[in-house]
A and B are shown apart, each in its own frame.
Chain A
């Protein structure tokens, strides 16, 4: 099966902890993304990664950082989580920045 796979599905953690979410795509795409979907269901782009070029949304706090070992993987690390980081984090991929995206099922983070 070719798709975008995210782990874990859910994660509960305390304020100040570090968390890391994994994303792998088996579609052979060249570009990957991380989106954040908040409690109001608004989807906001956080990062895009294409040919080792990282493009960061300037509104993303510095405690968030993407990590990529190859074009099929783009993980997301949050250094010291805060309550407002509670959200669903969605990973996506596409052939390039102009192609349609394939999304994963998301990782739901709850910070207590």
Chain B
């Protein structure tokens, strides 16, 4: 499984756009990129997933570099409710076994100021 590297923390003001980067330099061709976030006293929540290019949903957008070694989660117009730890995870979709499980790193703590 590819290892991911994220900044440990970020800060933003309400209404700003937040971009959280994730480096996965050893990502394999069979691996997908997932983003989850966790607010205090809750379990992680799925945000978005992608393989290449650009993915968007009602919560966020995900840009993946052409070589797939870098991805950026973009949160438009953050509010206080977006304050959380954001996890970037890569997982091998080709393996349907014990090896294919979500492995969480330390994530990026996003602090939102009013």
Q: Chain A interface (Cβ within 8 Å of chain B)?
A: 4, 33, 35, 41-45, 48, 55, 90-92, 96-98, 100-106
Contacts and interface: CB of A to CB of B under 8 A. Distances in A.
A26 B46 CA distance: 17
A50 B43 CA distance: 20
A4 B45 CA distance: 12
A42 B101 contact: no
A103 B44 contact: yes
| Interface size of B as a range | 20 to 34
Contact of A42 (B41, B98, B104): B104
Interface of chain B, helix or strand or loop or mixed?
loop
Give the most central of A45, A103, A104: most B CB within 10 Å: A103
Contacts, number: 49
B34 A97 contact: no
Contacts of A42: 104, 106
Contacts of B36: 101
Given A43-B104, A45-B101, A45-B103, A105 B43 contact: yes
Given A97-B101, A98-B96, A100-B49, A43 B42 contact: no
Contacts of B42: 103, 105-106
Contacts of A4: 43
Nearest to A101: B102
Contacts of B49: 100
A46 B47 CA distance: 23
A97 B43 contact: no
Interface string B88-114: 000001011110111110100000000
12 contacts: A43-B104, A45-B102, A90-B44, A96-B96, A97-B100, A97-B101, A101-B36, A102-B46, A103-B42, A103-B43, A105-B41, A106-B43
A99 to B, nearest CB: 9
